[in-house]
Amino acid sequence: MPTNCRSPWEGRGEDPDSDRDGDGRGDARSAFSDNGRVRAFRHVQLSYQPFITSVRRFPYPYRAMLAICSDLDETPDRKVYWEIMRFLNTTETTAMGPGVGLDVGNSIYFDMPPEQFSYWNTDDAGREMVRSLIHSGHIDCLHSYGDLAITRAHAGRALDELARHDCRLEIWVDHGKAPTNFGADVTRGYGDIPGHEAYHADLTIAHGVRYVWRGRVTSVIGQDVPASIDGLWTSRHPVASGWTVGKELAKRVLARRGSVKYAIQADNQVLGEGRLRDGEAVDEFLRCNPHWGGVSSCETATGIGEVLTDSMLGRLVMREGVCILYTHLGKVKDPRTPFPPAAVAGLRRLAKAHRDDKILVTTTRRALGYLSARDRVGWSGHREKDLLTISVGRGSGARSGGPPNACSELMGLSFYVPDHRRYRILIDGAPVESLQVNPPDRTGRPSVSLPWKRSCFPDQ
């Protein structure tokens, strides 16, 4: 089990400054009552000088964020699954050459036809591998309970197994037309209809699922920024890419006219408020496949190189967007080398963009957790002599807990600050031990961060 994923504020030692103001905890509560992205600290004590701060969009030094969110459909067996994960997450020698050493998650389901890799279909070693990857955060999506899971009992059996091994998955991703799906239109299922034999939403939410995907995919390059169809049309494929652009524009029009199906695409945000049909509130998310041929084009291990082009990655950085990439990395042509040379080249382009401090590549769970925390926590800043303090209140925006060994949602949170001699960050009143002080970025402003640590890939 990896051990070096300790959150920077897990060990809260004595801070020589912690009692100087005497009410750091009160500061955080004050920050909580404020709304909005830029806040001034209001404090009654004259010894404090408030200062304006703002949160950097992404952990320093990155300018964009991407998570490869792969549905495991048609993965032949555990060896192929493991080789894919090893190539993506390590720099070890693999069947496709040295791995790209990124931070990439995967998904799992349970009841599937025998020829497809799934939790119940694989052997004990495969199940052990799955549990190990869940514990490390590298399996982070429950991809329905599978095509053959048709009753609440199937869901219950899977959840019991996860609980027995202290495994928790917080992301639900609908699969095809699986009966346990939550979707009402694109991915039609019955998992959230009380009284239906496949109803399981209450159990699944109680297990810990918080984020839900119900078939929504966009072609727009970069979310969490205004929608734009730029970069989709190509003169090499004018008709097909023009059709993709037309469909994207049509979705926007339908969203504005009140279409429930396309509502989440109206403002091009990754996360939106969702409600299951049994009334349960969830965070719904939008995935993206920005290929010129449309959202169902090249969404496989074979095709991913056609998606991760220099042009697409460059535009994602330029727009400072987020991409939760819709794909199926288990759909391979040759199980001996799951990624063909063009896909390897695409993944190496992505790895270079990460190494060049442009795109933070991480798992879907960590990306969604970061975005959720960034936009929901409260904060305030004040200065006292040569010390600048930022007080962060977590509130409901960043849940404590999480799956075992999960890195906390606040990791990477970065605040622009005035140039100063000393800094500290308080989380719910407690000082962060290992603060990261960053030089000015391309905006010319310095920042301080809660350090981002990559996930720790398990040994097998």
Q: Give the binding site for Zn ion (CB under 5 A).
A: 71, 73, 175
State the minimum distance, in angstroms, from the CB of residue 180 to Zn ion: 12
Contact 429, 11 (CB under 8 A): no
Pick 132 or 187: Cβ nearer Zn ion: 187
Q: CB-side exposure of 270: number of CA atoms within 13 Å?
A: 27
Pick 327 or 455: Cβ nearer Zn ion: 327
Output the six-digit token pair for 432: 């962060």
The DSSP secondary structure of 225-255, one letter per residue, reads S----TTT--TTSHHHHHHHHHHHHHHHHHH
State the minimum distance, in angstroms, from the CB of residue 343 to Zn ion: 19
Residues 6+ apart with CB under 8 A from 97: 344
Q: What angle do CA 244, 250, 254 make, to 5 degrees?
A: 145
State the minimum distance, in angstroms, from the CB of residue 234 to Zn ion: 28
Pick 115 or 386: Cβ nearer Zn ion: 115
State the minimum distance, in angstroms, from the CB of residue 361 to Zn ion: 22
Residue where the block lists tokens 């500061």: 27
Pick 73 or 103: Cβ nearer Zn ion: 73
Contact 152, 143 (CB under 8 A): no
Output the six-digit token pair for 50: 């408030």
End-to-end CA distance of the chain: 10
Pick 329 or 388: Cβ nearer Zn ion: 329
Nearest-CB residue for Zn ion: 175
Pick 209 or 377: Cβ nearer Zn ion: 209
State the minimum distance, in angstroms, from the CB of residue 355 to Zn ion: 31
Measured CA to CA, the distance from residue 390 to residue 405 in angstroms comes to 26
Residues 6+ apart with CB under 8 A from 108: 72, 118, 119, 130, 134, 139, 141, 142, 143, 169
Pick 209 or 417: Cβ nearer Zn ion: 209
Contact 268, 220 (CB under 8 A): yes
State the minimum distance, in angstroms, from the CB of residue 215 to Zn ion: 10
State the minimum distance, in angstroms, from the CB of residue 334 to Zn ion: 21
